[in-house]
Amino acid sequence: MYEQQLGLKPPMGWNSWNTFTWDINEQLIREAADTIVAGGYKDAGYEYIVIDDCWSLKDRDDDGKLVADPIKFPNGMKALADYIHSKGLKFGMYSCVGTHTCAGYPGSFEHEFQDAELLAEWGVDFLKYDYCFKPRHISGELLYKRMSLALKNCGRDILFSACNWGEDNVYQWIRESGAHMYRSTGDIQDSWDSIKSLTLSQLDKASFTGSYCHNDMDMLVVGMYGGSNSDFIGSQIGGCNDVEYKTHFSLWSMMGSPLMIGSDIRKANQPTRDILMNRDLIAINQDVEGRGAYRIKPEPQWFHADDVFMLVKVLTDGDVAIGFFNLSDGQREMSLQFWDIGLPYASGKSLSLYDCWEHKEIGVFRERYAPVVPAHDCLIVRAKLV
Ligand code: GLA
């Protein structure tokens, strides 16, 4: 009955929050599911359709059960789950460790087992579990253990997505709690500064991600262009350009983050589709060994600030994914000495490099490779030993 591979690879899907926040309804969720299939996203690997906060009534019913808002979801959650499943997709929902969710709806505190059973009845496959309104006398660690136990015993496979924003040294205890992914950062905004600061905050956390418990750097803002009904996330901020979205997607892919689309995919333009469905990047993200990416500073190291770096991810088949990231505001030459990834000149070996954005071979190099990378841009190569 239980799926042995639940959470093996970084989960991929779509989440309602970044663009729609409170303004969600059944029709929107169905259309998102339709687009995931018709637009080719499902074939590229996206499978979870997740409703974030603001889906329930403000009060539980007389039996203490959560109630889906009948205006937003007139046919109820079971019917929506059935619809999503009929498309070959999986259904995600949201709750919170505290007495209330972040937007003030009922949370699961002291209702964990009852809520897990209700989610299972509805046919839910994924639970995002937030950190607001947590009673102060009890540790977050214990509350995530509670819901994990409840989910693992509710009679249905439900992927557990913890969301405590990197608080309380979550790295040190989350894997043991049973969560399949965990938010390590505060909320993303649709801005270059936000992408950059979330990234820099996680560069030294490469050993805290991997199979069955992935470091979640938050939903993607690719393709939002400032289009959110939340001023905090985007509408006052203005969004990013396509180069910045490309770099954002590359970072999340290389760093092993779950890939949860946060834009209105019903309206995605071609550059957005090309970014979100880059198969070469997705293959790196979904590599089955699930290793974190280590950082190397380009030579000469004294010359480059922390926002210019290479990330290296060792892949299952012996290839190595290498990302040259220039998050600075000026063009940079980024010299990688192959010595630094374990390949000495004396080995007699070279690297054959394939460009994962241009989707073509670059050539064969021995000892070093030094591309010039424009500001805010990146180059992602898949390197094969020859
Ligand atoms: C928190 C989470 C967000 C989102 C909102 C919903 O801020 O970090 O991702 O779920 O709550 O209220």
| 329 has pLDDT over 90 | yes
Helix 112-122 to helix 76-86 angle (10° resolution) is 50
Identify the band that residue 238 occupies on the pLDDT scale cut at 50, 70 and 90: confident
**Low-confidence winner among 40-44, 130-134, 225-229, 256-260 (lowest mean pLDDT):** 225-229
Identify the pLDDT of residue 301.
86
Query: What's the mean pLDDT when you consider all of the chain?
Result: 97
User: Catalytic: 130?
Assistant: yes
Identify the pLDDT of residue 300.
87
User: Catalytic: 307?
Assistant: no
**Low-confidence winner among 177-186, 220-229, 299-308, 311-320 (lowest mean pLDDT):** 299-308
Q: Tally Cβ neighbours within 10 Å of residue 293.
A: 21
pLDDT in tens, 284-312: 999 999 999 999 999 888 889 999 999 99
Residue ranges and CATH numbers for the domains of the chain are 12-285 (3.20.20.70), 294-385 (2.60.40.1180)
Q: Is residue 130 within 6 Å of ligand 1 at its C-beta? A: yes
Identify the pLDDT of residue 146.
98
Separation of CA 135 from chain center: 27
For ligand 1, the distance from its centroid to the CA atom of residue 102, given in whole angstroms, is: 6
Which listed residue (53, 130, 157, 264) is catalytic?
130
Q: Is residue 319 within 6 Å of ligand 1 at its C-beta? A: no
Q: Once rounded to an integer, what is the mean pLDDT over residues 372-377?
A: 98
User: Would you report the helix, strand and coil content of the chain in percent, each value rounded to 5?
Assistant: 30, 20, 45
Q: Is residue 133 within 6 Å of ligand 1 at its C-beta? A: no
| Side chain identity at residue 213, one-letter code | C
**Length of the chain in residues, anyone?**
386
Identify the band that residue 331 occupies on the pLDDT scale cut at 50, 70 and 90: very high
Identify the band that residue 358 occupies on the pLDDT scale cut at 50, 70 and 90: very high
Q: Once rounded to an integer, what is the mean pLDDT over residues 119-144?
A: 98
CB–CB of 322/351 below 8 Å? no
Q: Is residue 96 within 6 Å of ligand 1 at its C-beta? A: no
Query: CA-CA distances (angstroms) from residue 336 to 12, 196, 323, 365, 370?
Result: 31, 22, 10, 11, 6
Percent of the chain with pLDDT over 90: 95
For ligand 1, the distance from its centroid to the CA atom of residue 132, given in whole angstroms, is: 9
Identify the band that residue 1 occupies on the pLDDT scale cut at 50, 70 and 90: low
Q: Once rounded to an integer, what is the mean pLDDT over residues 248-272?
A: 98
Q: Is residue 103 within 6 Å of ligand 1 at its C-beta? A: yes
Mutate to test the pocket of ligand 1, among 18, 102, 261 (most ligand atoms within 8 A of CB): 102
How many Å apart are CA 50 and CA 361, to the nearest integer?
Answer: 37
* Alpha-helix runs per DSSP H in the chain: 17-20, 26-38, 41-44, 76-86, 112-122, 140-152, 174-177, 192-202, 242-254, 270-276, 279-285
Strands 351-355 and 378-385, bridge-based pairing: antiparallel
Identify the band that residue 206 occupies on the pLDDT scale cut at 50, 70 and 90: very high
Q: Is residue 216 within 6 Å of ligand 1 at its C-beta? A: no
How many Å apart are CA 13 and CA 49, to the nearest integer?
Answer: 6
Q: Is the pTM of this model over 0.85?
A: yes
pLDDT in tens, 4-22: 799 999 999 999 999 999 9
| 3 has pLDDT over 80 | no
Identify the pLDDT of residue 235.
83
Mutate to test the pocket of ligand 1, among 95, 163, 228 (most ligand atoms within 8 A of CB): 163
| 81 has pLDDT over 70 | yes
